Structure 1
Amino acid sequence: MDNLNNDGNGGEPVAGKKGGILASKRFILIVVITLILLWLVWTILGFLEDRSARKAAKPTVVATEETTAAPKVKTPGHLPPNNGKTVARDTRVAPSKSTTSTETQPPKVAVPTHAPVLDVGKGTAFVTACMEPLAYELNERFWGWRPNDILNVTDNVNNLQLGILEVTRRTSVVLAEHLSRTGSTDAYVPSLESAMNCFMINSRQYWFPTAESKYNEGLDEMKNYIRMLKNGEARFYRRVDNLVPLFRAFESMLGSCDENLVKNQGDLSTFKADDYFYYSKGVAHAMETILEATAEDFSDLIASIQGTDVLHHAITALGHAANMDPWIVFEGSPDGFIANHRSNMAAHISHARFYLGVLNSALTGNIQ
């Protein structure tokens, strides 16, 4: 009896465990079935919603097809017939021949502007060219420097020398302030600063000191700078942004000459007209010499902006102006029988000014 009771008591826990497991399985099954039903309902609703959206959009499509009938396209013989089906046409637009491809554009040349370009010995040609015209007028021309003479009987040579002096002054300023320095915070080269100041003395200074003595002193200071360049004691910075002040100064001078050569055409006396003529001739002579040296010392930088031919045209125009040497400078009317030599000179000066302006635009366009 005890055994039966024990067996009976021991059977109740086993039945309880089985009932709990079955209840858990039923619950899981109910959850799974519920999820499946929800998924089916969601899918059916989505399908019905999609069909209703298509029906709503169908009239618009039909109207479009009726209003824009597609043209009939001939089917090649080797292709099967279309049977009235709409053929999707290629709507891609071929590129226009007039459209310029970016691949055909020439690449921009990277021009060094702010990094110093140092070459030992470079710059000697430029400085020598700056000295030569004035040195000739002071020491080699008969009677030497004439604007400060007490008796002025050769006004043509006087004005030619004044034109050469003005170009030398402007170039010495650019040389002292830009070409020999890394920037505005760099110290002046003492020799160039002294030369610049010597050239600024009045051209008609007769004594204490005389004009020619100060000008020769300035030339000696520039010779000292050349010696320093050769020995590596000084620098000459061949940069694009250093050429801009030089060409701007030259362009400004040529503009002044051009104005004096074209104003009051036919109304000036011959004696006044030849003053403007010979002053412009002196400017052209000195400027031609300096630009030839510029083409030598800055050849690589000028070539990088494709300015070699442009600079050559400017030099050629200045050479034509410098070589004009009429026996008498006539001031005829522009449409008269007698020549107007001021107008003839103005043509060459204007051409040189134009080409220097082109170079300035190219140079300033490459400065970042």
Structure 2
Amino acid sequence: MRFGRNKLGHNNDSLTSRTVGLALAVLLAVYLLVCLILGWYWSREPGLEPVAPTPGPDTTLVVGSTTARTVHGLMYTLLQKPGGFTGNDIFPPGVWLDNMPSWEFGVLVQVRDMSRAMRRDMARSQSQSQEDPDLALAEPRFNFDNNSWMFPGSESEYRSGLRALNRYIRRLETGEANFYARADNLASWIGDSSTRLGSLSQRLSSSVGQAEVTEEGRHYRKTPWLEIDDVFFEARGSAWALLHLMRAVEHDYADVLERKNAMTSLQQIMRELEATQQPLYSPVVLNGSGMGILANHSLVMANYLSRANAAMIDLRRLLEQG
């Protein structure tokens, strides 16, 4: 009798262990499936709809409102899109993503460049003028490390920058702050943006390898295979943000652009940037050889950015002419 009870107890323990193991396996599978679905949803890029906050009925837009509101809208989109800001995530599914954090970084760089241009040039009448106090708070916070997840987290610093930018926008639209839409201010920012596009274009072109001749000799440079998609989505995010900023510039600097006969060049830039946002139907970023069977998405993106950069160089030249 004692032996029978032990055998029965052993069988019950084995059955319980198998049940617990099966339950844990099912929970793990469900968890991974949920993470997979969330990761796919969080990786969807925002569209080309305007990002600038809609002004209220009692708000009067002034020169500079559209640019400042667009910068606000770009940063707000980074924080409030599905999944929020994923660049500093340490838990699944965000920690498994690489394309969306790269896209976010491309947008962030454009926000940083424009906020610096606003603080340095656009909100000041001349180089000896005092800088705007709210832009002086916003710009360094937008330049905070995008990989910090706590003490402080990247999001908290970016939200602090948004609050300072909001204060500047309110003061601007009530006549208490300034925005100077001059050709030299715009040309300076165009020069910075052109440099960004040139660098991205070179990194994209290096997906197939590139011979570089320097004083030290001939070097062969190629983007590592595992980084190709990161560079591609960084370029895509940067072009997305730059397109929105160009639309804002078209509005706020309309008089300057018309006077310099530069509106056509600006519109050419926007057409090329719009082409970078075409849907990517391939599940992965392909890296075929230049004349091979498979496409090379990096080279296609580099082509659009190079043409946009050429138009930006023309635009800057027109702005700098007397």
Inter-partner Cα distance in structure 2 for 1:313 and 1:291? 11
Q: Compute the displacement of 1:214 (Å).
A: 0.6
1:146 paired to 2:86: yes
* 8 A Cα contact 2:206 2:223, kept in partner: no
Unaligned runs of 5+ in 2: 1-59, 210-221
Counterpart-to-counterpart distance in 2, 1:131 and 1:259: 29
Q: State which of 240, 257, 262 in structure 1 corresponds to 2:200.
A: 257
Matched-pair identity in %: 27
Decide which of 234, 240, 243 is 1:288's aligned counterpart.
Answer: 243
Write the mapping of 1:1-368 to structure 2, written as runs, cut at 5 A. 121-139=62-80, 141-151=81-91, 152-265=95-208, 270-326=225-281, 327-366=283-322
Distance 2:285 2:225 in 1: 6
Contact 1:270 1:330 (8 Å CA) reproduced: no
Q: Report the Cα distance in structure 1 between the residues aligned to 2:188 and 2:90, rounded to whole angstroms.
A: 37
Question: Are the structure 2 counterparts of residues 120 and 272 from structure 1 closer, same or farther at C-alpha, using a change threshold of 3 Å?
Answer: closer
Match of 1:47 in 2: none
Residues of 1 paired with 2:229 and 2:73: CA distance?
24
For residue 325 of structure 1, report the CA deviation from its aligned partner: 2.4
Deviation at 1:268, TM superposition (A): 5.0
Q: 1:133 offset after TM fit, Å? A: 2.0
- Alpha carbons of 1:221 and 1:332: their partners in 2 closer, same or farther (altered >3 Å)? same
Whichever residue aligns with residue 271 of structure 2, its letter is T
Counterpart-to-counterpart distance in 2, 1:305 and 1:173: 24
Q: What is the Cα deviation at residue 283 of structure 1? A: 0.4
Offset at residue 120 of structure 1 (A): 7.4
How far off its partner does 1:269 sit? 5.7
Structure 2 letter corresponding to 1:237:
Y
Which has the larger Rg? Answer: 1
Q: Any conservation in 2 of the 1:270–1:329 contact (CA below 8 Å)?
A: no
Provide the residue aligned with 1:30 in structure 2. none
| Distance in 2 separating the partners of 1:120 and 1:344 | 38
Alpha carbons of 1:185 and 1:268: their partners in 2 closer, same or farther (altered >3 Å)?
closer
8 Å Cα contact 2:207-2:228 kept in structure 1: no
| 1:4-48 per-position Cα deviation (integer Å, ceiling 9, x unaligned) | xxxxxxxxxxxxxxxxxxxxxxxxxxxxxxxxxxxxxxxxxxxxx
SS in 1 for 2:304: helix
What displacement does 1:324 show?
A: 4.2
2:155 partner letter: E
Q: Which amino acid aligns with 2:311?
A: Y
* Local SS of the residue matching 2:276: helix
TM-score, structure 1 normalization: 0.65
Note if contact 1:274-1:329 (Cα within 8 Å) is conserved in structure 2.
Answer: yes
In structure 1, C-alpha distance between the alignment counterparts of 2:223 and 2:174, rounded to whole Å: 53
CA distance in 1, matches of 2:96, 2:254: 43
- Spell out structure 1 runs of 4+ moving beyond 6 A: none
8 Å Cα contact 2:207/2:224 also seen in 1: no
Shift of 1:183: 1.1
Alpha carbons 2:262, 2:319 under 8 Å: kept: no
Cα-to-partner distance string for 1:263-305 (whole Å, 9 max, x where unaligned):
1416656532111100000100000000001001111110111
How many angstroms apart in 1 are the aligned matches of 2:62 and 2:228? 43
Question: Conserved in 2, the CA contact under 8 Å of 1:120 and 1:232?
Answer: no
> How many matched pairs?
247
Please give the alpha-carbon distance, in whole angstroms, between the structure 2 residues aligned to 1:162 and 1:120: 30
Give the drift of 1:207: 0.9
Paired residues of 1:268 and 1:331 also in contact (CA < 8 A):
no
SS in 2 for 1:143: coil
Give, in whole Å, the separation in 2 of the partners of 1:292 and 1:344. Answer: 23
- Residue segments in structure 1 that go unaligned for 5+ positions in a row: 1-118
RMSD between aligned alpha carbons? 1.5
- Structure 2 counterpart SS, 1:263: helix
